[in-house]
Structure 1
Amino acid sequence: MTTGNLTTTEREVLDEIDANDVDFLRLQFTDILGTVKNVSVPARQAEKAFTEGIYFDGSSIEGFVRIQESDMRLVPDPETFAILPWRQDEESAAARMICDVYNTTSGEPFVGDPRYILTQALERAREMGYTVNAAPEPEFFLFEEDEDGRATTETNDAGGYFDLAPKDLASDVRRDIIYGLESMGFEVEASHHEVAEGQHEINFEYDDVLTTADNVATFRTVVRAIAAEHDLHATFMPKPIARINGSGMHTHVSLFDDDGENAFHDEDDEFDLSETAHAFLAGVLEHAPAITAICNPTVNSYKRLVPGYEAPVYVAWSDRNRSALIRKPAARVPAASRVELRSPDPSCNPYLALAVILQAGLDGIERDLEAPEPVRENIYEFDERKREEYGIDTLPANLGEAVDALEDDEVVYDALGEHVGPKFVEAKRREYEEYMIDVSEWELDRYLETF
Structure 2
Amino acid sequence: MSEINIIEKIQEQQVDFVDFWFVDIFGELHSVGIPSYSLTEDHFKNGLEKLDASSIRGFKSVNRSDMILLPDVTTFRILPPDYDDNKRKNARVFVELCEISDSAHQRYNRDSRVIATKATNELKNFGLTKAVWGPELEFFIFDKINLFPSSIGAIQSYGGSGYSIESSEAPWTRNAGRIDLKGGYYPAQPKDTLESIRKDICDDLYKYFQIKVEAQHHEVATSGQCEINLLHGETIIAADNVVTAKNLVKVKSKKNGKVATFMPKPIYGDNASAMHMHQSIWNKENNMMYDPNDKVAEISQLGRYYIGGLLDHADALCAISNPTTNSYKRLVPDFEAPVNVCWGIGNRSSAVRIPIYSRGNEKNKRVEYRVPDPTANIYLLEAALLLAGLDGIKNKKDPGDPVEENVYRLTSEQKRNYKIRSLPSTLKDALESLKSDQKFLEHVFTKDFLDTYISMKYLEHDAFAQTPTPWEIAMYSDV
Aligned counterpart in structure 1 of residue 166 of structure 2, from 154, 167, 170: 154
Aligned to 2:158: none
Corresponding letter in the other structure for 1:188: V
Aligned to 1:49: 43
Q: CA deviation at 1:145?
A: 2.7
Counterpart check, 1:117 vs 2:142 = no
Q: CA deviation at 1:114?
A: 0.6
Instruction: Please give the alpha-carbon distance, in whole angstroms, between the structure 2 residues aligned to 1:60 and 1:317.
Output: 42
Counterpart check, 1:190 vs 2:215 = yes
Instruction: Please give the alpha-carbon distance, in whole angstroms, between the structure 1 residues aligned to 2:316 and 2:4.
Output: 43
Instruction: Please give the alpha-carbon distance, in whole angstroms, between the structure 2 residues aligned to 1:146 and 1:387.
Output: 40
* Count of aligned positions: 441
Instruction: Please give the alpha-carbon distance, in whole angstroms, between the structure 1 residues aligned to 2:270 and 2:61.
Output: 41
Instruction: Please give the alpha-carbon distance, in whole angstroms, between the structure 1 residues aligned to 2:146 and 2:279.
Output: 43
Instruction: Please give the alpha-carbon distance, in whole angstroms, between the structure 2 residues aligned to 1:320 and 1:50.
Output: 46
Aligned to 2:230: 204
SS at match of 2:315: helix
Aligned to 1:266: 291
Instruction: Please give the alpha-carbon distance, in whole angstroms, between the structure 2 residues aligned to 1:251 and 1:392.
Output: 21
Aligned counterpart in structure 2 of residue 215 of structure 1, from 231, 235, 241: 241
**1:21-100 matched pairs, under 5 angstroms:** 21-44=14-37, 45=39, 47-55=41-49, 56-85=51-80, 86-87=82-83, 90=86, 92-100=88-96
Change (3 A) 1:387 1:180: same
Instruction: Please give the alpha-carbon distance, in whole angstroms, between the structure 2 residues aligned to 1:317 and 1:325.
Output: 6
| RMSD over equivalenced CA pairs, Å | 1.7
Instruction: Please give the alpha-carbon distance, in whole angstroms, between the structure 2 residues aligned to 1:59 and 1:195.
Output: 41
Aligned to 1:135: 134
Aligned to 2:320: 294
Aligned to 1:240: 266
SS at match of 1:167: coil
Structure 1 portions without partners, runs of 5+: 1-7
Contact 2:109 2:445 in 1 (8 A): no
Change (3 A) 1:147 1:406: closer
SS at match of 1:237: coil
Contact 1:407 1:413 in 2 (8 A): no
Instruction: Please give the alpha-carbon distance, in whole angstroms, between the structure 2 residues aligned to 1:203 and 1:261.
Output: 24
Change (3 A) 1:147 1:110: closer
Q: Calculate the TM-score normalised by the size of structure 2.
A: 0.89
Q: Calculate the TM-score normalised by the size of structure 1.
A: 0.94
Instruction: Please give the alpha-carbon distance, in whole angstroms, between the structure 1 residues aligned to 2:339 and 2:101.
Output: 45
User: Is the deviation greater in 89-98 or in 379-388?
Assistant: 89-98
Q: CA deviation at 1:204?
A: 1.3
Counterpart check, 1:391 vs 2:419 = yes
Change (3 A) 1:291 1:46: farther
Corresponding letter in the other structure for 1:294: I
Contact 1:143 1:152 in 2 (8 A): no
**1:419-430 matched pairs, under 5 angstroms:** 419-430=448-459
Instruction: Please give the alpha-carbon distance, in whole angstroms, between the structure 1 residues aligned to 2:190 and 2:382.
Output: 37
Aligned counterpart in structure 2 of residue 101 of structure 1, from 94, 97, 100: 97
Aligned to 1:167: 191
Change (3 A) 1:296 1:412: farther
Aligned to 1:371: 399
CA deviation profile, 1:3-41 (whole Å, cap 9, x unmatched)? xxxxx4444432332233211111100100110111211
Aligned to 1:4: none
Instruction: Please give the alpha-carbon distance, in whole angstroms, between the structure 2 residues aligned to 1:264 and 1:19.
Output: 44
Runs of 4+ displaced beyond 4 Å: none
